[in-house]
Amino acid sequence: MTHILITRPEGKGAALAQQLEQAGYQASLFPVLKITHLTPSSTELSPLLNADKIIFISQDAVSALSQLKPDINTKAQFYAVGQQTADIIYEQFGVRAAVPKQYDSEGLLALKSLAEVDGSNIVLVKGQGGRPELAKTLKERGAFLNNCVVYKREPTESITPNWTDHWKSQNVHGIVITSNAAVDAIFKSLTAHQLQWLQQCRFYVASERIAAYLKLQQVSSANIHIAAGASDNAMFTCINQQGSNMSEQSKPVTAEKATSTIANPASAKSAKQEPAATKNTTEKNKQKVSKVAALALLISLIVASGVGYEFYQKLNAGKAQNLAVNELSEQNKLLVQELQALKSAQSNLQQALFNSEKKVAATLSESAAQNQQELKAALQKAQQQGSSLNPQEVTSLQRMAEFKLWAEKDYQGTSAVLKRLDALLSEHPGTVEVRQAIMQDIQTLDSLKPIATEAIYLQLNSALNSVDNLVFNAVNLPEEAAAIDENALSDDVSDWQQNLSNSWNKIVDSFITIRQHEGVSIEPLLTDQERHLINQRIKLNITQAQDALMSKQASIFFSALSEAKRLVGEYFKQDDDATKTVLKALSKLEKEQLNFNPKITLNSTQKVKEWAQ
């Protein structure tokens, strides 16, 4: 039965092993790598927010990034190396990713949408040290590339170089490899014998890139089979197609049986002697011999023949034994001579090895000193030549920051672009002043607190809904003063003149009546229509404040709030709970700092221009 070894990381080879076992193969899981998730800084994650294209190079990249829950531009174009990676992207981010026909870096670079990427912001979500050619090619095509490293592959700690001996003992025929890191882990620290056995195995790899890397380990092309990708189905198809070549062939061994008959010499002699005896009996005048005597004679002859044959065999065996002893003695002498020659050769070999180690140590010491000198010279040359950073890329990012600040009023987006520019400049010398100006701009932008527009709008809406619950001021009229009839007529005749005057006054009172009240002055009463109009005026002012908030007109906002507050304080009961709540909400809103258009100047703009010149 063909034995296939699956070296994929833990949890990734079970489905393939099940497929192989159902197809009649023997499958073993032997992870040689472990996946460790990393935590990138906020600066490394910030390009995801403004990316035009995002490329995921593996399923592990998607899983590691989704656990970080970063701010990501879901309107960007997503790319996946394989279909399984695309499925996980849709599951985690709800975005359909573009998938190449060929599941590798070359397939991605062949896509039309990645052929012309000049000026595009591309984020490559990958593992540590992975896909250098993909990044290099995208940069050559003019893209602004940012690497987001979210995981790394490491050799399994329990693995030792003796694993190849274990695989050999298990009669492993084929090995599944899905990354260059797995190749490094397998071919590390092997003896010549282990390497020779490993090079004779068959390897099933996920791409041309891994196959080319495997050939560097002196593995023959005939032993390398390339699948249509790293998926379980692609690997199973590749292994199954090569299954006929992997079957164990056994050569039948036939043995020819020959039958030989060994005649008993004693019986032969007896057969010859029997007619001779009978002949003698007939020739000696027909001497009568009893049958019993003849039979006894025959038996004695047979026994004598057997004893003589046995003695002859023992004699030959003794001679053969003496010859064997002599031969063993000669061989022993030869072995002693060879052992002495081996001891002499071992002594010479140890001396040669000691001399070789001395030469290697001296050579390594000289090489290390020479490399150190060359490194110092290279560093000095790099410092003298200055930065090799592309000025066009720097100015492009600076212009993007200015556009987001002045056109879009996106202060957080501006800060993210400047952080990205600072990360780019940090890799090159001679940019200290520019980076200081960029950091000042970032601190200024981060200190700006965003206006809670939605919260203020909801507070205004709450006050608007409470207007109908307000209680108007009621007018409590005091009781009328006790009326004194000053025009009462007297019964005395002498008071006729006074009675005449009083009568006239009564006639006048029937046309005009003047009443007097004791206490506070009387406030004018409001009709239902007037009350409705006051409520509508308050609502209109609050609605006007909402519109001013959304259109970012601070003066109109505060003017409308002031008028609404005045109307509530003038026409409604001040000791009522509803009135207190509305007045408190309006007073709080009047204290909001609505600085819709802060005056900000980017200090880094001038510094970048000076640096580019």
| DSSP string covering 37-49 | E----HHHHGGGG
Kindly state the average pLDDT of the residues 568-580.
89
Q: Are residues 165 and 90 in the same domain?
A: no
Mean pLDDT score of the chain, rounded to an integer?
A: 78
pLDDT of residue 285: 43
Q: Is residue 561 part of a domain?
A: yes
| Cα radius of gyration (the chain) | 54
Q: Are residues 210 and 186 in the same domain?
A: yes
Q: Is residue 595 part of a domain?
A: no
Output the six-digit token pair for 146.
């940012």
Closest CA to 426 of 417, 411, 412, 436: 436
**pLDDT 10s digits, 147-196:** 999 998 888 765 555 778 888 888 888 999 988 888 888 888 788 888 88
Find out whether 16 and 235 touch, Cβ atoms under 8 Å: yes
Q: Is residue 146 part of a domain?
A: no
Which CATH number do you get for residue 204?
3.40.50.10090
Amino acid at 331: Q
Domain boundary among 246, 279, 299: 246
Residue 332 pLDDT greater than 90, yes or no:
no
pLDDT of residue 176: 92
pLDDT of residue 105: 84
Q: Please report the sign of the dihedral spanned by the C-alpha atoms of residue 62, residue 66, residue 72, residue 76.
A: positive
Q: Is residue 493 part of a domain?
A: yes
DSSP 319: H
Amino acid at 456: I
Q: Are residues 317 and 431 in the same domain?
A: no
Q: Is residue 298 part of a domain?
A: yes
Domain range for 443 is 391-448
Q: Is 419 helix (H, G, I), strand (E, B) or coil?
A: helix
pLDDT band at 253 (very low <50, low <70, confident <90, very high): very low
Residue 77 pLDDT greater than 60, yes or no:
yes
Residue 286 pLDDT greater than 70, yes or no:
no
Output the six-digit token pair for 172.
């492993």
Q: Are residues 14 and 163 in the same domain?
A: yes
pLDDT of residue 513: 53
Buried b (16+ CB within 10 A) or exposed e, 330-340: eeeeeeeeeee
Q: Give 580 or 477, the one with higher predicted confidence.
A: 580
pLDDT of residue 149: 92
Amino acid at 260: S
Q: Which of 55-64, 513-522, 574-583 has the lowest mean pLDDT?
A: 513-522
What percent of the chain has a predicted confidence (pLDDT) above 70?
77
Q: Are residues 167 and 126 in the same domain?
A: no
Q: Are residues 443 and 457 in the same domain?
A: no
Q: Are residues 284 and 403 in the same domain?
A: no
Bridging pattern class, strands 3-6 and 26-29: parallel
**β partners of residue 174:** 4, 202
Q: Are residues 178 and 224 in the same domain?
A: yes
Q: Are residues 280 and 325 in the same domain?
A: yes
pLDDT of residue 315: 59
pLDDT of residue 56: 94
**pLDDT 10s digits, 86-121:** 999 999 999 999 999 888 888 899 999 998 898 899
pLDDT band at 78 (very low <50, low <70, confident <90, very high): very high
Q: Please state, in angstroms and rounded to a whole number, the distance separating the CA atoms of residues 540 and 131.
A: 62
Q: Are residues 473 and 586 in the same domain?
A: yes
DSSP 105: H
**pLDDT 10s digits, 526-566:** 788 888 999 899 999 999 988 988 888 888 988 998 999 99
Q: Are residues 396 and 410 in the same domain?
A: yes
Q: Which of 56-65, 200-209, 376-385 has the lowest mean pLDDT?
A: 376-385
Closest CA to 610 of 422, 395, 387: 395
Q: Give 367 or 259, the one with higher predicted confidence.
A: 367
Q: Are residues 65 and 9 in the same domain?
A: no
Q: Please state, in angstroms and rounded to a whole number, the distance separating the CA atoms of residues 501 and 483.
A: 19
10 Å Cβ neighbour count for 607? Answer: 20
Residue 289 pLDDT greater than 60, yes or no:
no
DSSP 27: E
pLDDT band at 356 (very low <50, low <70, confident <90, very high): confident
Q: Is residue 259 part of a domain?
A: no
Into how many domains does the chain fold?
5
Kindly state the average pLDDT of the residues 272-296.
49
What percent of the chain has a predicted confidence (pLDDT) above 90?
14
Q: Is residue 522 part of a domain?
A: yes
pLDDT band at 312 (very low <50, low <70, confident <90, very high): low
Q: Give 472 or 254, the one with higher predicted confidence.
A: 472
For the residues of 224-285, what is the DSSP string, one character each? EEE-SSSSHHHHHHHHHHTHHHHS-----------------HHHHHHHHHHHHHHHHHHHTT
Q: Is residue 354 part of a domain?
A: no
Kindly state the average pLDDT of the residues 568-577.
89
Find out whether 124 and 145 touch, Cβ atoms under 8 Å: yes
- For the chain, the residue count is 613
Residues 6+ apart with CB under 8 A from 448: 411, 598, 600
Kindly state the average pLDDT of the residues 42-63.
91
Residue 447 pLDDT greater than 80, yes or no:
no
Domain boundary among 399, 430, 448: 448
Bridging pattern class, strands 174-177 and 202-205: parallel
Q: Please state, in angstroms and rounded to a whole number, the distance separating the CA atoms of residues 354 and 348.
A: 10
pLDDT of residue 94: 92
pLDDT of residue 123: 94
